[in-house]
Amino acid sequence: MVHPETVLAQIDQQFPQSLERLFELLRFPSVATDPAHYPDCLNAAGWLVTQLKGMGFEAGLRKTTGQPLVVGSYMPPGGGAGAPHILFYGHYDVQPADPLDLWTSDPFDPVIRKMENGKDAIFARGASDDKGQLMTFIEASRNWLAVHGSLPFRLTVMIEGDEEGDTTHLDLFLKENAKEFPVDAAFICDTEMWDERTPAIITRLRGCIGDEVTITGPRIDLHSGYFGGPAQNPIKVLSRVLAAIHDKNGRIAIPGFYDGVKPIPPSLRKQWDGLKFPAKKFLGNIGLSVPAGELGYSALEQMWARPTAEVNGIFGGYRGPGSKTVLPAEATAKLTFRLVEGQDPGKVRKAFRKFVKERLPKDCKASFKDDGGDSTGFAVAENTPWIAAAKRALKDEFGRNAVLAGGGYSIPVVDSFKTHLKIDSLLVGFGNEDDAAHSPNEKYAIDSYYRGIRTWTRIIAQFAEREET
């Protein structure tokens, strides 16, 4: 049996160096959505290439339609015949740091400060999302190589620079270059723990599509005194259409919307129920009190395993100060649909548009604008060898069983890997819900970084054990 203790001891001994390497990466203001920071993105990518080469990888930058993609390849001695080929994914781009006046310290000059719980954390933009997370795997691999001289699998490291902006750049790259990456599974470290003491493995995510609808009536805005009554008001029409999307039980009334949606396995529902998720407290923190989704589903299931239709914005007519007695010529709404495994984004979009058109009165028309997304949800079977290895490793490190959790959000690359590389993804992360990932004073607990490195080391050990047997 392969024991990771020697590597774990190496991690402890050189942890200050691991921390300094993370600080070096955090100092790059790699805001990919701001052209002024394009040189910083290139420098961050180049730094990662240098790190991988120093570990014995063949590494370089690959051109995309956006920021450069860092790709590193490692082949075990002898070619790794029979060993799995793992792809590790992360991203080096970060969210803009604005508003700067709300930061306690320079967002690109990382510092260690105490959190409210008295523990130390790294405060910097990208500390949790995703530089601190991706470096847990890089440092685990570095320490394993330092002790054992080789990894027990083939490894491709892929670190993109557009995750926080336009993810279609990487999707297009994968579509055009899929044959270069005959991998067995993707490991992703860009998610959170269940709580500070309990690890989690994300086994399902919701996808997302966005659509915008504009309803037009009269050819110009009208005086409500002259035309109020006989003239169609697009705001009233749009409001009626939007109100019809959900029935009284919170179920989405668009015909065909639920096509392909499967219930979660009873064993998973039992585990989620056992988490005793405090829905009242969760909602109370934002000034609400009761779950407002579909009746018959817990708050966790509503967030993790049920699709949604949400109105994100609605506007039309006069919005200035005071009153203006006007009937607007048009009204617009922006919507997003969170989708689960089995739903077809294209069919959902088509069904929504048909739903709107069927409810238009005479003299009104609807036009639509694709607001992007087009990613479906995904779910991974809980009995894959990748999840089994992660569960054992997390239990060994944290002394607790990992929660097989869901995520109501989207990680588009997961869908890209499934579509173009035909692989599932293992999502193990060490962030906490209060890390303020897209907000001022983003942080990453020192303990998260330290135990993340140790956990990936234990996962690597699982494959070394398989290699020996």
- Tens digit of each residue's pLDDT (9 = 90 or more) over 321-330: 999 999 999 9
Residues paired with residue 71 on neighbouring β-strands, in sequence order:
60, 158
Q: Burial of 310 by CB count in 10 Å (0-12 exposed, 13-18 middle, 19+ buried)? A: exposed
Q: Residue 1: pLDDT band by 50, 70, 90 thresholds?
A: low
For 331-369, how does the pLDDT look when each residue is reduced to its tens digit (9 = 90+)?
999 999 999 999 999 999 999 999 999 999 999 999 999
Gap between the Cα atoms of 287 and 144, Å rounded = 47
> Into which CATH architecture does domain 207-261+307-370 fall?
2-Layer Sandwich (3.30)
Largest CA distance in the chain: 86
CA 172 from centroid of its chain's CA atoms: 18
Q: Is pLDDT at 466 greater than 70 in this prediction?
A: no
pLDDT on residue 383: 84
Q: Is pLDDT at 468 greater than 60 in this prediction?
A: no
Gap between the Cα atoms of 187 and 37, Å rounded = 28
Query: What fold, for 5-205+379-468?
Result: Aminopeptidase (3.40.630)
Contact 210, 349 (CB under 8 A): no
pLDDT on residue 332: 98
Contact 49, 59 (CB under 8 A): yes
Cis omega (within 30 of 0) on the bond before 99?
yes
Calculate the average pLDDT of the chain.
Answer: 95
Q: Is pLDDT at 467 greater than 70 in this prediction?
A: no
Who contacts 11 (Cβ-Cβ below 8 Å, separation ≥6)? 18, 139, 140, 143, 450, 453, 454, 457
pLDDT on residue 3: 75
- Residue type at 204 in one-letter notation: R
pLDDT on residue 410: 85
Q: Which of 178, 187, 165, 161 is nearest to 70 (CA)?
A: 161
Long-range contact list for 318-326, CB < 8 A, 24+ apart? Answer: 325/223, 325/224, 325/225, 326/221, 326/222, 326/223, 326/224
- pTM attached to this predicted model: 0.90
Contact 244, 359 (CB under 8 A): yes
Q: Is pLDDT at 160 greater than 70 in this prediction?
A: yes
Q: Residue 170: pLDDT band by 50, 70, 90 thresholds?
A: very high
Query: Strands 185-188 and 425-428, how do they pair?
Result: parallel
For 80-96, how does the pLDDT look when each residue is reduced to its tens digit (9 = 90+)?
678 899 999 999 999 99
pLDDT on residue 469: 46
The residues spanned by each domain of the chain are 5-205+379-468, 207-261+307-370
For 41-54, how does the pLDDT look when each residue is reduced to its tens digit (9 = 90+)?
999 999 999 999 99
- As a whole number of Å, the end-to-end CA separation of the chain is 8
Residues paired with residue 428 on neighbouring β-strands, in sequence order:
201
Gap between the Cα atoms of 180 and 173, Å rounded = 11
For 273-313, how does the pLDDT look when each residue is reduced to its tens digit (9 = 90+)?
999 999 999 999 899 998 999 999 999 999 999 999 999 99
Q: Is pLDDT at 381 greater than 90 in this prediction?
A: no
Written as six digits, the tokens of 373 are 């997304």
Q: Which of 126, 92, 133 is nearest to 443 (CA)?
A: 126
Gap between the Cα atoms of 220 and 328, Å rounded = 7
Who contacts 427 (Cβ-Cβ below 8 Å, separation ≥6)? 188, 189, 190, 191, 201, 202, 203, 205, 407, 411, 414
Residues 142-163 have a mean pLDDT of 97
Residues 170-187 have a mean pLDDT of 97
Q: Residue 424: pLDDT band by 50, 70, 90 thresholds?
A: very high
CA gyration radius for the chain?
25
